[in-house]
Structure 1
Amino acid sequence: MKNFFTILGGMGTIATESLARQLNHRIKITKDQDYLNYVLVNDAQIPDRTAYIKDHSQPNFFLNLREDVLQQAQLKPDFFIMPCNTAHYFYDDLAALTDVPFLHMMRIAVHRFVQDYPDETKIGLIATEGSIYDHLYVDELAKVGRKAELGGPEIQPLVTELIYDNIKQKGVVDAELYHRILRKMHDEYGCEVILLGCTELSLAQEKAPGHPYNIIDPQSIIADVAIELELKIRAGMAPTEAVKKYLY
């Protein structure tokens, strides 16, 4: 197979499924051959990212991802994407394993925020405890002169309930809970834009988009970027040339 990219997924599986739907339904098609070529690695056995980040005695998820990257690199994809925000904790280590370009989903999302909302100096951030604990998005936002608003102590338990108790454990999106979190971030903490720092939250946005709030959705953004890049590569542009605008 030529002109393809690799998705490092399975963190979790239905969030990865959501990304595949976006890739398949956003491409303009008139025939089967118009769809994108990609390899979807749904490694559902990757240990919990937040558990390891908060407690290094827990299983290290880098080992699984390292194996996946090295296996896929032998196929020579045009680029890698990884639809798990928290797994970007090991982005530098994973990208160093291969010469294949590895797109940084979190960094791309932060730059899209600056591009789309140049006058906003802060953004509401809801994410896994692991991402919050290790300042993954906070640090990326600081690099571009923006601040993350995390809300009060009541926010994280609600977000964790939505991600783990609902989506990961039951495979369902509690739309009322999702909208309540967004409303609180907007009304009580003054967030005109809210960043969905977990792909389960991206799934919540896909399934329950009926709200009035401005959203930065990294998974949706990386889907659009992958489509843009692969169409350019399919048209004859060299992969390294195509991806360089997104290698921040």
Structure 2
Amino acid sequence: MKHFFSIIGGMGTIATESYVRLLNHRVKINRDQDYLNYILVNDAQVPDRTSYIKDHTKPNFFYDLRDDVLGQAKLGPDFYVMPCNTAHYFYEDLSRLTPIPFLNMMRIAVHQFVEKYPGETNIGLIATEGSIYDHLYEDEIHRVDREVEFGGPEIQPMVNELIYSDIKEKGFVDGKLYHRILQKMHDEYGCNVILLGCTELSLAQEKAPDHPYNVIDPQSILADVSIELALKIRNGMDPKEACSKYLYK
């Protein structure tokens, strides 16, 4: 197969399925050959990211991802994507394993926030406890001179219920709970824009988009960027040149 990219997924599987579904439905097609070429590594056995980030005595998820990246490197993809926000804890280590471009979903999303909402000086963030605990998104947002609003102590339990109890454990998106979280972040904590810092939250946005709030959805953004790059490369652009636009430092 020529001109394909590798998806390091399975964290979780239903969220990865959402990313692939966005790819397949957003690319413009007239025939089978118009779809994108990609290899999906749905590594559902990657240890829990938040558990390790909060407690380093827990299984380290880096080694599973390292094996996935190196295994794909042998096949020669044009670039990598990893539709899991919290797994970007090891982004720098993983990207150094190979010279193949490795997109950073978090940085791409934060830069799109700045471009789309240049007048907003802060952004609401809902995410896994792991992403918040290690300041993964907070650091990226501060790098572009913006501030972060996390909401009050009632927000994280609601987010955890949506991510873990509903989506990861039951495969169910509680649209009403998702909307209630967005409403509280907007009405009670003044967030005109809310960043969805977990791909399960991106799944919630895909399944329950009928709300009036402005969201930055990294998985949706990553899908659009993946399509853009894959088509440029298919049409003859060098992969490193195509990806350079999105390899923010």
Q: TM-score, normalized by length of structure 1? A: 1.00
CA deviation after TM superposition for structure 1 residue 138, in Å: 0.3
1:48 aligned partner: 48
CA deviation after TM superposition for structure 1 residue 232, in Å: 0.4
Looking at structure 1, the residues matched to 237 and 175 of structure 2 have their Cα atoms a distance apart, in angstroms, of 41
1:152 aligned partner: 152
Looking at structure 1, the residues matched to 138 and 233 of structure 2 have their Cα atoms a distance apart, in angstroms, of 33
1:228 aligned partner: 228
Equivalent pairs counted in the alignment come to: 248
2:113 aligned partner: 113
2:216 aligned partner: 216
One-letter identity of the residue aligned with 1:186 = H
CA deviation after TM superposition for structure 1 residue 133, in Å: 0.2
2:30 aligned partner: 30
One-letter identity of the residue aligned with 1:201 = L
Any residues of structure 2 matched to 1:76-115 within 5 Å, and which? 76-115=76-115
One-letter identity of the residue aligned with 1:142 = H
CA deviation after TM superposition for structure 1 residue 177, in Å: 0.4
Offset from partner CA, 1:65-106 (integer Å, 9 cap, x none): 000000001111000000000000000000010011000000
Looking at structure 1, the residues matched to 86 and 30 of structure 2 have their Cα atoms a distance apart, in angstroms, of 36
Looking at structure 2, the residues matched to 87 and 180 of structure 1 have their Cα atoms a distance apart, in angstroms, of 26
CA deviation after TM superposition for structure 1 residue 62, in Å: 0.3
Root-mean-square deviation (CA, aligned residues, Å) is 0.3
What SS is found at the alignment partner of 1:44? Answer: coil
Looking at structure 1, the residues matched to 93 and 243 of structure 2 have their Cα atoms a distance apart, in angstroms, of 19
Q: Percent identity among equivalent residues?
A: 75
Looking at structure 1, the residues matched to 240 and 64 of structure 2 have their Cα atoms a distance apart, in angstroms, of 26
CA deviation after TM superposition for structure 1 residue 15, in Å: 0.2
Offset from partner CA, 1:172-214 (integer Å, 9 cap, x none): 0001100000000000000000000000000000000010000
2:204 aligned partner: 204
2:125 aligned partner: 125
One-letter identity of the residue aligned with 1:10 = G
Which 4+ residue blocks in structure 1 deviate beyond 4 angstroms? none
Looking at structure 1, the residues matched to 84 and 148 of structure 2 have their Cα atoms a distance apart, in angstroms, of 19
2:195 aligned partner: 195
Gaps of 5+ in 1: none
CA deviation after TM superposition for structure 1 residue 228, in Å: 0.2
Looking at structure 1, the residues matched to 146 and 87 of structure 2 have their Cα atoms a distance apart, in angstroms, of 22
CA deviation after TM superposition for structure 1 residue 115, in Å: 0.2
One-letter identity of the residue aligned with 2:36 = L
Gaps of 5+ in 2: none
Looking at structure 1, the residues matched to 101 and 92 of structure 2 have their Cα atoms a distance apart, in angstroms, of 12
CA deviation after TM superposition for structure 1 residue 36, in Å: 0.1
Looking at structure 2, the residues matched to 4 and 118 of structure 1 have their Cα atoms a distance apart, in angstroms, of 34
Looking at structure 1, the residues matched to 106 and 74 of structure 2 have their Cα atoms a distance apart, in angstroms, of 25
CA deviation after TM superposition for structure 1 residue 152, in Å: 0.4
Looking at structure 2, the residues matched to 28 and 89 of structure 1 have their Cα atoms a distance apart, in angstroms, of 33
Looking at structure 1, the residues matched to 232 and 101 of structure 2 have their Cα atoms a distance apart, in angstroms, of 15
What SS is found at the alignment partner of 1:40? Answer: strand
Q: TM-score, normalized by length of structure 2? A: 0.99
CA deviation after TM superposition for structure 1 residue 16, in Å: 0.3
One-letter identity of the residue aligned with 1:22 = L
CA deviation after TM superposition for structure 1 residue 109, in Å: 0.1
2:186 aligned partner: 186
